[in-house]
Amino acid sequence: MKNKILIISGDPNSINSEIIFKSWKKLKVSTRKKIYIISNLNLLKSQFKKLNYKIKLLKVNNIHENIDTHMLKVLNVDLKFKNPFNVPIAAASKFIKKSLNHGHSLALKNDIKGLINCSINKSLLSKNNIGVTEYLAKKCFVKNNSEVMLISNNKLAVSPITTHIDINNVSNAINSKIIKNKIKTIQKWFMEKLNKQPKIAILGLNPHNSEFRLSSKEFKIIIPVIQTLKKEGTNINGPFSADTIFISDYKKYDVIVGMYHDQVLSPFKALFKFDAINITLGLKYLRVSPDHGTATDLIGKNKANPKSLIQSIKFINNFIK
């Protein structure tokens, strides 16, 4: 039975060690026993010590070691770090990629319940500033940009059609195929995993949907895609204007799909703050992450909120049977 939860410690220059510790302290013993973390043992020890956190770590050689222990089990990434809270860019990048690649390989073997990665500075993954969503989608050979970033809690989910790209590139990145593929991925996931036909609202790209001018993306691309999806049985409505749907109408839907990252994530976070997790749909395995960044301004201050990581762990623990 696959009952292991795999956590990648993520960016060493971050609040990750703090939220890992705080989450660990709040978890049930039965859940702790399932957790393995991909990190560097000495790095974690040094960071915990500097933060004055008391936690027992155990280095394990592989995830198949069936160890019944209360200690935090560490699958060691063998690198050396001089300053635990100021790791050079090249070393941090190497560490993150090795950790993600190892987690990806273990997840492909289907021996774990799911993969959680803590926050990562996207610039350390690629010069193109891609995120973990795109990084793992590429490793899983996902075709047609059908991978989906779904930010979710038990009240609502939001998803951007384009993810980590500059705003001036958004319009050119939107086309019928990418919208249709991503919405189909969302629908499939809800029906297969939650046994539910989701109610989906889709937003336009421009303010007031460009008043639906004939030359607009709304008229030329988004509306025809909605009509096609409706004919195929998708429960989808729109396009709605982004400046009003999050007042109250969002409560009528399971998923709000926007055209770009901040169009849906900013209002979602204003509504729900840390009560959310980031789920990647379309991969060959279940991957989630806390819905926040590295928060370098909070490093060492003991102010980081662990709620999103705790929610990520509970989601994987309860979701896959």
Per residue in 1-19, pLDDT tens? Answer: 478 899 999 999 999 999 9
- Domains of the chain, first to last: 1-142+283-321 (3.40.718.10), 144-280 (3.40.718.10)
User: What six digits make up the tokens of 35?
Assistant: 């957790």
Give me the mean pLDDT over the 27-36 stretch: 90
Report d(CA 130, CA 128) in Å as an integer: 6
User: What six digits make up the tokens of 84?
Assistant: 């635990």
User: Residues 129, 38: contact at Cβ < 8 Å?
Assistant: no
- Confidence band for 129, pLDDT divided at 50, 70 and 90: low
Burial degree of 252 (CB within 10 A; 0-12, 13-18, 19+)? exposed
> Do β-strands 148-152 and 277-281 pair in parallel, antiparallel, or remain unpaired?
antiparallel
pLDDT digits (tens, 9 = 90+) for 222-259: 999 999 999 999 999 999 999 999 999 999 999 999 99
Task: Fill in the amino acid letter for 151.
Answer: I
Name the β-bridge partners of 203.
240
pLDDT of residue 1: 44
DSSP conformational letter for 7: E
Give me the mean pLDDT over the 254-265 stretch: 96
Q: Please identify which residue in the block is written with the tokens 């019928």.
A: 176
User: Residues 77, 95: contact at Cβ < 8 Å?
Assistant: yes
